[in-house]
Structures are given as C-alpha cells and as structure tokens.
Amino acid sequence: MTIATRGRSVYPDTRCRYESSIEPDTPKKIRYGKEVEERVERLEAALGEIDPPYPRRWIALKLLEKDEEIWGLVGEKNPRVIELASELITELESIHGHDSLIIIANERACIASQIARRCIRIVKPRKPTLGDRFDEIATHPILELHSLPP
C-alpha cells in the first residue's frame, strides 16, 4: 500500500522485497556421480580448445549422451574431442554395464528424486473434529439425515 500524494510506501520493506524478487537467481551446478563427473570434467577441458555456442558442461553431457547434433557440431571444430568422448563413453559403459544415455538419465532421475524428497513433507492427517463427524453422519448417502424435515 502506498501514499501516492507523498510518494512513499506504508510498508517500508516493500521496495527491498521487490528488488530482491527481480534479481536473477544463480543456478546451482548439478553434480552427477563420481564416474560421470570425472568424464564431464575431462571433456570440458578438451572443449576449451574450441569456442562452442553452448556452455561447455552442457556440451560435455550431450557428448556422453551421444547426441548426434552436438557430435556433428563438435566434430567439425575438433575431431579429437569426439575420439575422447568415444573413449570416455566406453569407460562409463564398462563400469556401469549400460548405455551411456541410460547412465546419464538415471543420474538425472536420482537427482530429481533427491530434490523431491527435500521438498515434500509427509504429515499425519488431522484428527476429524466433532463437526466433521456430524457432517459425515448428516450427509451419509444411506442414512440421508439431510433430507429429514427439521
């Protein structure tokens, strides 16, 4: 609420809350499992030689996922990075016993599960009040107390 004639807010902290709400949040870096992180870091270092149009970490993950478009984009600029990515994919697949695409998807699902676990709070249902119980009896479909005359 403001006092327009005086140009000030009735609530002095409103401006501070508004300014903090328009500041951009800095995204947190998602950390995958140890094996995946090591390979992502190695690919990021190898990508340092080229100037990609996307963030290096994202490209490294896409290379591990065998994304054809990113393979083509990086392969044009530096085929050695593709060779390294192939080696790292082979290592990951031998460690986990699955395709690298499935490994990355599983890592993301685990992270999503952790986030959900932190956000969801399971509470005990509240005990029904006397009024709730009366309403349940009064509107019961068989007893039909609600249709009785007063």
Interval 82-136: pLDDT, tens: 999 999 999 999 999 999 999 999 999 999 999 899 888 888 888 999 998 888 8
**What span, in angstroms and rounded, lies between the C-alpha atoms of 148 and 136?**
15
Residue with tokens 């994304």: 67
Cα distance between residue 131 and residue 142, in whole Å:
19
Cβ neighbors of 87 (< 8 A, separation 6 or more) are none
pTM here? Answer: 0.64
Distance CA 84, CA 86 (A): 5
21/15 Cα distance (integer angstroms): 10
* In the chain, % of residues over pLDDT 70: 78
| Alpha-helical runs (H) found in the chain | 14-22, 34-47, 56-64, 68-77, 79-96, 100-119, 130-138
What structural domains and CATH numbers belong to the chain? 34-119 (1.10.287.1770)
Rounded to the nearest integer, the mean pLDDT of the chain is: 83
